[in-house]
Amino acid sequence: MTKLTGALAATALISVGQLAQAEGSSGFTIDLEIETNAVSTFSADDPTAEFTDVNAEVTLVAEVELGGGFSIFSEVLLETVVDPTDDVFFDNHGLFVSEIGLAYANDNFSVAAGKISPAFGLAWDAAPGFFGADVAEDYELGDSIGAAVEVPFNLAGGEHSISAAVFYLDTTLLSRSIITKRGRTTTADGGAGNTEKLDNFALQFAGAFGDTEYNLSFRQLSAGEGDVDDDRGASFGLQHSFGNFTALGEVARFENFNGTADDVTYGTLGGSYTMNKWTFSGSYTARDGVADASDYLASVGVDYDFGNDLVASFGLSQFEEADQKSNSVALSLYKAFSFGG
């Protein structure tokens, strides 16, 4: 992807959001997030891993209310789709649809069908700091064709929900990307959940008691072509707010992770302290069992909130994978926009 093409793609997404704002339709909403990152691995046991990646991540979420509880939802991403192996500057970005479909909601339940992101786990989304979620993202579920249902309820003074999804990895034309092409996913690629059948499921119990949030998740991903066995996993996470300080912990365990012979365990601890416009954070994730190795990611971060959904971030991390250590530093600028509603 050329620098000019990337700029034009981001400009086009912003223009769509500005159009929605001008329309001011209560049945059409757009949320736009733009993040520019500079990540440099400045020291590594493997010298070829030392490079700088300057990139952008743009997320466009749109929803159209159809009336009667029905809506159309979509999410479009612009992000790096080819992992860099050398210094890059806004290169290798692809534009693709990560979610799209039809939803229905009332006071008792909600259901969605189409291309979805099944709910599983907490740390991959909530671990604090720029690098905090990088390893836990291994078990995030996304890019799936299927259906999901969520039922909210109140219990013991808290709000809770049960959600369930059946799905398979997207092998349609929507698995492609444009600008930089990532290619269409096929069943020949293998991988747990890549079955073109609704024989994969995820189940999640989530909620809060006061200042404590919990998340208990289960999943089974059927073996794909060439896989060893089904991926079976569970996770349990807690997050508690002590005023200005928030602590998070999660443990996740998988048999035959992603269809391989590996039984893998993840453990994540994190904390963040907010002082006026500053947030200071630290996190640690241990991963045991990938290719019989014990890996870890330790990181610290500082965020500054300028207001109006504009945030600058700094991160520093050490990552050990297969007995190879690397140290990285990152700077990031994030801006969010909301239109319509």
Q: pLDDT digits over 156-165, tens only?
A: 889 999 999 9
Enumerate the H helices of 33-192 as residue ranges: 123-126
Say which residues have a Cβ less than 8 Å from residue 255's Cβ, sequence separation at least 6. Answer: 229, 231, 232, 233, 263
State the Cα angle at 31 between 25 and 32, rounded to 5°.
Answer: 130
- Asked if residue 147 lies in contact with residue 112, where contact means CB atoms within 8 angstroms, the answer is yes
pLDDT 10s per residue in the chain (341 long)? 444 334 434 444 444 444 444 444 458 999 999 999 999 999 999 999 999 999 999 999 999 999 999 999 999 999 999 999 999 999 999 999 999 999 999 999 999 999 999 999 999 999 999 999 999 999 999 999 999 999 999 998 899 999 999 999 999 999 999 999 999 999 999 999 999 999 999 999 999 999 999 999 999 999 999 999 999 999 999 999 999 999 999 999 999 999 999 999 999 999 999 999 999 999 999 999 998 899 999 999 999 999 999 999 999 999 999 999 999 999 999 999 999 86
Cα gap 245→112, rounded to integer Å? 35
pTM, 2 dp: 0.90
How many CB atoms neighbour CB 277 within 10 A? 11
pLDDT at res. 221: 98
Q: Which domains, from first to last, does the chain contain?
A: 3-340 (2.40.160.10)
Locate the DSSP E strands across the chain.
28-44, 52-67, 70-80, 88-89, 93-105, 110-116, 144-155, 158-169, 178-179, 200-209, 212-221, 231-242, 245-255, 264-275, 278-290, 293-307, 310-321, 324-340
- β 110-116/144-155 pair status: antiparallel
CA-nearest of 30, 279, 283, 241 to 132 is: 283
What is the pLDDT, as a whole number, of residue 2? 43
What tokens were used for 81? 């789709």
CA distance 97 to 184: 13
**Structure token digits, residue 188:** 């020949």
- Structure confidence at residue 323 (pLDDT): 94
- Give pLDDT, residue 333: 98
d(CA 245, CA 242): 5
Measure Cα distances from 83 to 88, 290, 325 in Å.
10, 20, 18
111 contacts 160 by C-beta, under 8 angstroms: no
